[in-house]
Amino acid sequence: MADILLAFKSSQNVAGQEGGWTGLGSRMIREKPGGIGYTEWFLAKDHLQVGDVVRSRKSPNSRSPKNMEVPEGTVVGLERDTDQDGFILVRVHGVHDPIRSHVSTLERVTFGLAAGDWIRLKREDKCHSPVGILHAVNRDGSVTAAFIGLDTLWKGDYSEFQMAKPYWAGQFVRLKPSVFSPRFEWPRRRGSGWVAGRICQVLPNGCLVVNFPGRLMMGRGSFLADPAEVELVSFETCQGVVRKYEHLEDFHWAVRPLLMALGLFTAMKQDNNYYVERK
């Protein structure tokens, strides 16, 4: 009960602010200019203990674990009450002295898993997406996770799933060619194939909120996508000049008219030069 009261008391300072991301592990993580800051809003407290394996907490949209203060280490000391604003001492391999870190900047790692990891169930169920996000990993290996299509958190064991490819805001995705009836509506490209869009938000159950800057849409700004039905799109994955140009159009709807105008201007300039030379 004390944890719940503390959570709602802390939420008064953050719930009304914009730019927050609510979800993974029932925590709010806010990104600040020049760095990443973490609030102390925990609805489900994770009481760290001596002997726990921990690592630096990453933003949900962090692409790599580079520059992590604590890549992975073992808790060897608790300075204060770790439920509120305490510090802990972490022993990291290769570092002589324990590292003193604030509890809100760390996450517990159990069986190689931590809250916020992307997972895929080994046995798929047609009622819900097989790809989701871990919300809690207990020390005995039991876990809770969220999946598209489930109204409540899924409960199971860490042996029932495998790690999945993560997604983050800013990536371009499109539906896989093998998907003919997607879970959510998705626009098609002229002729054939699915349009590529940019992820603008990742929901706590793994659902992707996608917008389409390459299409001028009136009234509707974004679509939803099941992470199990999409594939990443980049210039590296686009084969051939035509595919790369199509991906260039995905960045902004003005790319096509701009290139058409540039081509027309170049053609007119060449015709004018030819006319001058003839004279």
> Residues with Cβ < 8 Å from 132, sequence gap 6 or more?
118, 119, 121, 145, 146, 147, 148, 154, 205, 206
> Is residue 30 over pLDDT 50?
no
**pLDDT tens profile 202-235:** 999 999 999 888 666 666 678 999 999 999 887 6
Q: What average pLDDT score do residues 84-105 get?
A: 85
Instruction: Find out if CATH 2.30.30 is the number for domain 113-166.
Output: yes
Average pLDDT over residues 186-205: 85
Q: Which of 188, 207, 208, 211 is nearest to 198 (CA)?
A: 211
Where in the chain do CATH 2.30.30 domains reside? 113-166
Task: Write down the pTM of the prediction.
Answer: 0.68
pLDDT at 128 over 90: yes
At residue 29, does pLDDT exceed 50?
no
Q: What is the pLDDT of residue 164?
A: 94
Top pLDDT among 203 and 60 is at 203
- Residue 45's pLDDT is 57
Does position 267 have pLDDT exceeding 70, yes or no?
A: no
Q: What is the mean pLDDT of residues 171-200?
A: 86
pLDDT in tens, 101-120: 888 888 899 999 998 899 99
CB atoms within 10 A of CB 235: 10
Q: Which of 35-49, 66-80, 106-120, 241-255 shows the highest mean pLDDT?
A: 106-120
Range scoring the smallest mean pLDDT among 3-7, 86-90, 165-169: 3-7
Tens-digit pLDDT profile for residues 231-251? 988 767 766 666 665 656 676
Which string of DSSP letters, residue by residue, matches 93-129? TT-SSPEEEEGGGEEEEBTTB-TT-EEEESS--TTS-
Is the Cβ–Cβ distance between 40 and 84 less than 8 Å? yes
What pLDDT is attached to residue 243?
66
Q: Is the pLDDT of residue 28 over 70?
A: no
Average pLDDT over residues 10-15: 39
Question: Per-residue DSSP letters for the chain?
Answer: -HHHHHHHHHHTTTTT-SSEEE-GGGEEEEEETTEEEEEEEESS-----TT-EEEE---TT----TT-S-SSEEEEEE-S-TTTT-EEEEEETT-SSPEEEEGGGEEEEBTTB-TT-EEEESS--TTS-SEEEEEEE-TTSEEEEEETT-SS-EEEEGGGEEE-----TT-EEEE-TT-SS-SS---B-SSSSBPPEEEEEE-TTSPEEEE-TTS--SS--EEEE-GGGEEEE-TTT--HHHHHHHHHHTT-TTHHHHHHHHHHHHHHHHHHHHHHHH-
Least confident of 3-12, 45-54, 168-177, 253-262: 3-12
- Average pLDDT of the chain is 75
Distance in angstroms (rounded) separating the CA atoms of residues 94 and 74: 12
Least confident of 13-22, 57-66, 235-244, 270-279: 13-22
